Amino acid sequence: MYLNIEEIRKDFPILSQKVYGNPLVYLDNGATTQKPYQVIRKMEEVYSTINANIHRGVHHLSQLATESHENARKTVQKYLNACNSNEIIFTRGTTESINLIASSFCRSQCRPGDEIIITSMEHHSNIVPWQLQKDITGIELKIIPVNEKGEISLENLEKQITSKTKLISLVHVSNVLGTINPVAKVIQLAHQHDVPVLIDAAQSVQHISVDVQALECDFLVFSSHKIYGPTGIGVLYGKEKWLDKLPPYQGGGEMIASVSFEKTTYNSLPFKFEAGTPDYVGSTALAEALNYINTLGLENINQYENELLTYATGKLMQIDGMKIFGTSSLKSSVISFLVGDIHHYDMGMLLDRMGIAVRTGHHCAQPLMEILGVEGTVRASFAFYNTKEEIDFLAESIKKVAKMFHVTTISKYR
């Protein structure tokens, strides 16, 4: 189906802003996405009509707010095609979801010397939680390399799996390279060795359809703010058999069945992992964001964003001195680049003056930057509200910056 981008853009109030007198061209969607009116208004509606603490109150408002939060859980369940809404845990985001699994899994399932496998294209949030566990529980971290196109190989992965491997945790779509990892094949291979898999879907659920039952993944995590929902809330999906087995991550209200000074017992799923007052306003607004995506159709979004990616890659490749990092044949709508010797920071600041928001720096993936041999890159990441005209403007603006820096066809990167 054809998406009417002009109409869609009207749903996003921030997009009609001007920056330094120029129309805003927002190409930092990998960092966070903009919010449609539907999501913004939903938050206002919850606060102005049903706000009350959930699960604990017998009163009318508390029941309405509880219903709203639990319906949101069902919306997420449907979006991921999970078996049961018990398998959906609300967290603060991708980072907290990974920390939860790293802590609960390593504490209960690993012994010193056991191995966790990640890839070298992980975001810091899928590296550091495991390093913390290395210090606490004595696990070892093994790293699958990436090739020059920004891909991992299943052969390399299989070579790393041993009898001590306890879990594989990898990113679905790289926030730097845009690579779409072959997660279905990774999971199949891991399961042949009885190893569970965690998928970091922070950069995938907003672009491509993810079916946790079809994938058979054991854990999957994402952040609401990267999928047009509010900040401060995210999701951990876990197979019931795993979540039942794992100990709580945090203690407090909601997560208990009974408490005494002698013995405390824990609540059933999903509440065992949701200590404290949950973000019921955030969950309700996240569900609204997922409904918004469903209305547009993820297939349509995917098709349009692929068109933008192909168009932008073609345009940027025509620029003298352009080097694109991440050239996998299976890519999502992210382009990381450098031009000549221009520092990523200079490029980002000058583009900003023209109204273009891009990301610069190491993108929370310093080990990957080291492998690429750069300190940082400029990253343009697209959403369905972006247009080909914006990409034309990006390309023209990059050329202007290159001219200022006297970049010629002979550059450090060609």
The greatest distance separating any two alpha carbons of the chain, rounded to the nearest whole angstrom, comes to 74
Residue (of 137, 143, 207, 135) closest to 169 by Cα position: 143
Q: Which of 94, 133, 267, 336 binds ligand PLP (CB under 6 A)?
A: 94
Task: State yes or no: is 364 an active-site residue.
Answer: yes
* Closest distance to ligand PLP from the beta carbon of 258 (Å): 33
**Quick check: helix, strand or coil at residue 217?**
coil
Q: Is 95 in the site for ligand PLP (CB under 6 A)?
A: yes
Of the pair 8, 173, the CB lying nearest ligand PLP is at 173
Other Cβ atoms within 10 Å of 38 Cβ, number = 15
Contacts of 6 (CB under 8 A, 6+ apart): none
Q: How far apart are CA 32 and CA 27, in angstroms?
A: 10
- Hey, which residues between 283 and 302 contact ligand PLP (CB under 6 A)? none
Residue 119 main-chain phi, psi, to 5 deg: -110, 170
Select the span of 71-79, 130-138, 199-207, 289-297 touching ligand PLP (CB under 6 A): 199-207
Taking the chain, what is the end-to-end CA distance rounded to the nearest angstrom?
A: 39
For residues 105 to 124, the per-residue mask of contacts with ligand PLP, x marking binding by CB under 6 A and - elsewhere, is: ------------------x-
- Check if the beta carbon of residue 207 is closer than 8 Å to that of residue 30: no
* Closest distance to ligand PLP from the beta carbon of 345 (Å): 19
Q: How far apart are CA 409 and CA 357, in angstroms?
A: 26
What HEC string does 300-339 produce?
A: HHHHHHHHHHHHHHHHHHCCCCEEEECCCCCECCEEEEEE
Q: Is 165 in the site for ligand PLP (CB under 6 A)?
A: no
Q: Is 169 in the site for ligand PLP (CB under 6 A)?
A: no
Q: Which of 36, 93, 129, 340 binds ligand PLP (CB under 6 A)?
A: 93
Q: Is 200 in the site for ligand PLP (CB under 6 A)?
A: yes
Q: Is 279 in the site for ligand PLP (CB under 6 A)?
A: no
Select the span of 195-203, 251-259, 267-275, 323-331 touching ligand PLP (CB under 6 A): 195-203
* Closest distance to ligand PLP from the beta carbon of 235 (Å): 11
Residue 111 main-chain phi, psi, to 5 deg: -115, 160
Select the span of 43-51, 76-84, 89-97, 383-391 touching ligand PLP (CB under 6 A): 89-97
Which residues does the annotation mark as catalytic? 364
Kindly list the residues in this chain that would bind ligand PLP in the complex (CB under 6 A): 93-95, 123, 125, 171, 175, 200, 202-203, 223
